[in-house]
């Protein structure tokens, strides 16, 4: 496919890999230009593969945000690791992310070894340059080249501020093959509304409750099959979403609900507002908390929950 002026149109898939908490989700959101992946400072926040789409007149980048590769302690951890690894040979470019603000560690070397094991062009991103000095950044680039092996390009940047992101996009686009529009103009993610709602509720619970919240929560959301209703008075469309928050123990329900329902109410309000901004429509969000015992360790539960 070509664009006016006979300029070749390039398109392809890029996976972002790295250990937990290096900023992969923030980087995907920055490249896409809007929020498509939830962000938290809690490890293993990303549990599934998220796709973000960046389309210009000459290219389309489909970015795969993957779970952080780590030493798993549960069946869920094993499955998230497998999901991250599976993308490496299915894409056009692998983008490995490390931090400029922390020494290169065993986890980084482990991920780099996995990346070196596939025959896919690779770019190393040194993220979080906004909290590192120029000397630290230069040292990190030198250490990365020495310790992590060969990459096709090295790009220092800040996913939070956007500094250096344009340079990364240029490196990725240069390695894409000529191809079609995989997604239509204006589409920034292929995640369904129910998935986005579930992820936003989980993100806001992590923000509101922070350390009190058990890491073993998950959220399942359903959009009302009858579609949208009309808001009373204005006639504006309203999307009805039902979110079920699952914990592993009865004792954990109180942490999610909070005293007087504060945690659940505040997280639900924030998630609804975020979802309305993302979808461009009013949303009615209902939440409830239920117990799904040891769901992280049971294959049947993980299958049913989409993991």
pLDDT tens for 257-295 read: 988 999 999 999 999 998 898 888 899 999 999 998 888
pLDDT of 58 strictly over 90: yes
Question: Do residues 61 and 169 lie in contact, with contact meaning Cβ atoms separated by under 8 Å?
Answer: yes
Q: How confident is the model at residue 180 (pLDDT cuts 50, 70, 90)?
A: very high
Residues 197 and 125 in one domain: no
Total of domains in the chain: 2
* 182 belongs to a structural domain: no
Residues 139 and 23 in one domain: yes
Q: With residue 122 as reference, give the H or E element that holds it.
A: strand 122-127
The residue among 279, 84, 297, 301 whose CA lies nearest residue 200 is 279
Distance CA 83, CA 104 (A): 23
pLDDT of 159 strictly over 90: yes
Structural domain span for residue 202 = 193-305
Half-sphere exposure of residue 123: CA atoms within 13 angstroms, side-chain side: 24
Question: Do residues 167 and 157 lie in contact, with contact meaning Cβ atoms separated by under 8 Å?
Answer: yes
Domain boundary among 174, 209, 226: 174
Distance CA 148, CA 303 (A): 35
Residues 231 and 149 in one domain: no
Residues 208 and 258 in one domain: yes
Residues 39 and 150 in one domain: yes
- Which phi and psi angles does 202 have, rounded to 5°? -65, -45
Q: What is the CATH number of the domain that holds 25?
A: 3.40.50.300
Residue 149, class by beta-carbon neighbours within 10 Å (0-12 exposed, 13-18 middle, 19+ buried)? middle
* 297 belongs to a structural domain: yes
């Amino acid at each position: 496919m070509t664009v006016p002026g006979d300029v070749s149109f390039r398109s392809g898939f890029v996976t972002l890999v790295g250990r937990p908490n290096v900023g992969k989700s923030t980087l995907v959101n920055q490249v896409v230009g809007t929020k498509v992946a939830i962000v938290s400072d809690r490890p293993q926040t990303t549990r599934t593969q998220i796709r973000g789409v960046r389309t210009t007149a000459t290219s389309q980048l489909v970015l795969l945000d993957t779970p952080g590769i780590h030493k798993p302690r549960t069946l869920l951890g094993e499955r998230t690791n497998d999901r991250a690894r599976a993308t490496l040979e299915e894409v056009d470019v692998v983008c490995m992310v490390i931090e400029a603000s922390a020494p290169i560690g065993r986890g980084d070397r482990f991920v780099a070894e996995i990346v070196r094991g596939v025959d896919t062009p690779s770019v190393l991103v040194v993220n979080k340059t906004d909290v590192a000095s120029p000397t630290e950044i230069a040292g990190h680039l030198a250490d990365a080249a020495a310790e992590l092996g060969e990459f096709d390009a090295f790009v220092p940047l800040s996913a939070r501020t956007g500094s250096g992101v344009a340079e990364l996009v240029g490196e990725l686009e240069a390695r894409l093959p000529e191809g079609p529009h995989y997604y239509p103009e204006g589409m920034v993610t292929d995640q369904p509304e129910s998935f986005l709602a579930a992820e936003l509720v989980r993100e806001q619970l992590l923000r509101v409750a922070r350390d009190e919240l058990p890491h073993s929560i998950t959220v399942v959301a359903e959009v009302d099959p009858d579609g949208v209703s009309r808001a009373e008075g204005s006639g504006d469309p309203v999307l009805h979403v039902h979110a079920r928050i699952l914990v592993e123990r009865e004792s954990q329900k109180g942490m999610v609900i909070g005293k007087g329902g504060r945690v659940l109410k505040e997280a639900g309000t924030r998630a609804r507002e975020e979802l309305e901004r993302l979808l461009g429509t009013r949303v009615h969000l209902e939440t409830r908390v239920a117990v799904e015992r040891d769901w992280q360790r049971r294959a049947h539960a993980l299958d049913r929950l989409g993991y």
